[in-house]
Amino acid sequence: MSRFKSLINKADWLHHVSTWQASGMTQAAYCREHKLNATTFNGWITRGRKVTPAARLTTVPIVIQPDAPVASALSLFVLQLGTGWN
């Protein structure tokens, strides 16, 4: 089976995906109306949902201010996450 390179670039596909999401149409109906390959379109939707672990990380600044002078470099600290205490 041969593969054909898409004539639509990544930015155009992403635009189609966001336009489809706002349209309220089914994927099939949107693809028919815009003469898009439904399988390729679904692939772009799937790729858009996959996020690399690095992209999900958020840097949060913290400031540690001890109440009293620290006697040891191995002090205990508690980190509270949105899902509970860890």
Per-residue pLDDT of the chain (86 residues; tens, 9 = 90+): 445 556 777 788 888 888 998 999 999 999 999 999 899 888 888 877 765 555 566 777 888 776 766 556 565 666 666 665 44
What single string gives the DSSP state of each residue in 15-78? HHHHHHHHHT--HHHHHHHHT--HHHHHHHHHHHH---HHHH----------SS--S-SS----
Which residues make Cβ contacts (< 8 Å) with residue 8, sequence separation at least 6?
16, 36
What whole-number distance in Å separates Cα of residue 85 and Cα of residue 34?
50
Q: What is the pLDDT of residue 57?
A: 65
Q: What is the pLDDT of residue 2?
A: 45
Q: pTM score > 0.85 for this model?
A: no
Q: Three-state SS for 9?
A: coil
